Homo-oligomer: A and B are copies of this chain.
């Protein structure tokens, strides 16, 4: 394995030589910049994903981690093609569209059908087949903003399950209003699902301005025809990787304090907020912890692969390490952009709540308050929490997160270096506190 790593490293030397890293409080930002500038998008299963894996291994080594390795898993690879959507009659206009992740292609000549609009997935579910059959379904549900991203959950169902519900009623395709909070003309991609029970139909999202436009067209002319063309490919099973690195504990090397982010991203932006920022934060945390004096417990940094496809890397990690999950004394993930952390939520055993209070006191100077004890720990880490691993969520301000999330507009210029420093400080304090304590957070 060592030789093979060396080969990869040599191949990437051109990419990597130029970005020297400084072990200072700007390290998280430096790493996010390096990842997004030198690798860019890194759709799970793609060549760019492989470059990201090699980048991560090399950076961990440069940062002085004690152990660096990758763990393979298999996944279904989905490849974006061209996508176009136009109003073919009576108003001839091109709309901004993106294929949803996992969607099949349309026939080569596209689908030309009348459109039928619903306000929500729930309204679609109650429709008659006669309303929907042979049409393109349009779900036009808007999303409101808040710090926690609360409203994502109530809107994203149309993306995930819309194709199945539309197909049940005989639709030829489905388009949804983007799951996002911006009026900028970007369409929001993200994973969607099929069912074995009903035919697979193409699924896409249009930008918020285009949804508003389409609604206005329909109010003028309910019999509107759309033409959708997409040539996504589903090449089948490929290998991807979780990338893992450790700072070995000085006293209790078998007790694992796991901090994480996900390395993959959607392919239209450079994945700076989702989740380049998280990658930078947790990679920097381990490196600076070692610099500050080796912690007593082992700090393991996991960069999960293929989070976007449905926590695929996290499930592989949990399966591979099932026997050793009891040695995972703590887990947390940074995966909600690059906003400042404003709240500490815990997922501890009842006897450990005072530890959460002590921890919050250490974070108070960063304007971080104490939330409740129902933290998930983050999307990937929720898989570990389900196996009993104690977690925290260092809750970031996500007010603007869904302005950029899963769009071409998720780029480095949206990341505030000062907010990244605040995140890094909070992760250092939290990780160090757990890694240098003897507490059993399961209790």
In the bound complex, do residue A90 and residue B209 qualify as a contact, i.e. CB atoms below 8 Å apart?
no
In the bound complex, do residue B213 and residue A270 qualify as a contact, i.e. CB atoms below 8 Å apart?
yes
Q: Which of B41, B51, B91, B96 contacts A15 (CB 8 A)?
A: B91
In the bound complex, do residue A409 and residue B209 qualify as a contact, i.e. CB atoms below 8 Å apart?
yes
| A38 contacts chain B at the CB level, 8 A cutoff | yes
Within 8 A of B (CB), among A144-197: 183-186
User: A219 — which chain B residues lie within 8 A by C-beta?
Assistant: 18
| A110 contacts chain B at the CB level, 8 A cutoff | no
In the bound complex, do residue A183 and residue B220 qualify as a contact, i.e. CB atoms below 8 Å apart?
no
| A420 contacts chain B at the CB level, 8 A cutoff | no
Shortest CB distance A52–B (Å): 11
| A426 contacts chain B at the CB level, 8 A cutoff | no
Size band of the interface chain A makes with B: 35 or more
| A133 contacts chain B at the CB level, 8 A cutoff | no
Shortest CB distance A311–B (Å): 26
In the bound complex, do residue A208 and residue B413 qualify as a contact, i.e. CB atoms below 8 Å apart?
yes
Bound together, the chains give a CA A41 to CA B413 distance in angstroms of 30
In the bound complex, do residue A92 and residue B185 qualify as a contact, i.e. CB atoms below 8 Å apart?
no
User: Which residue on B lies nearest to A222, using beta carbons?
Assistant: B18
| A408 contacts chain B at the CB level, 8 A cutoff | yes
User: A221 — which chain B residues lie within 8 A by C-beta?
Assistant: 14, 18
User: Which residue on B lies nearest to A211, using beta carbons?
Assistant: B413
User: A90 — which chain B residues lie within 8 A by C-beta?
Assistant: 14-15
User: Which residue on B lies nearest to A210, using beta carbons?
Assistant: B411
User: Which residue on B lies nearest to A36, using beta carbons?
Assistant: B213
A 402-414 to B, binary, CB cutoff 8 A, 1 in contact else 0: 0000001101111
Q: Which of B37, B48, B183, B409 contacts A216 (CB 8 A)?
A: B37
| A129 contacts chain B at the CB level, 8 A cutoff | no
Residues A408 and B37 in contact in the complex (CB < 8 Å), given A18-B221, A221-B18, A413-B208: no
A 28-56 to B, binary, CB cutoff 8 A, 1 in contact else 0: 00000100111111000001100100000
In the bound complex, do residue A220 and residue B19 qualify as a contact, i.e. CB atoms below 8 Å apart?
yes
In the bound complex, do residue A96 and residue B48 qualify as a contact, i.e. CB atoms below 8 Å apart?
no
In the bound complex, do residue B209 and residue A91 qualify as a contact, i.e. CB atoms below 8 Å apart?
no
User: A213 — which chain B residues lie within 8 A by C-beta?
Assistant: 36-37, 270, 411-412
Shortest CB distance A127–B (Å): 24
Chain A contacts to B: CB under 8 angstroms: 14-15, 18-19, 33, 36-41, 47-48, 51, 90-94, 96, 183-186, 208-210, 212-213, 216-217, 219-221, 269-270, 408-409, 411-414
Could you list some 29 contacts between A and B, CB below 8 A? A14-B90, A14-B221, A19-B220, A33-B216, A37-B217, A37-B220, A38-B91, A38-B217, A39-B91, A40-B92, A40-B94, A41-B93, A41-B94, A47-B92, A51-B92, A93-B270, A96-B408, A183-B413, A185-B269, A185-B408, A185-B409, A185-B411, A208-B413, A209-B409, A209-B413, A212-B411, A213-B270, A213-B411, A216-B412
What 7 pairs between A and B have smallest CB-CB spacing?
A18-B220, A40-B93, A209-B411, A14-B90, A185-B409, A37-B216, A209-B413
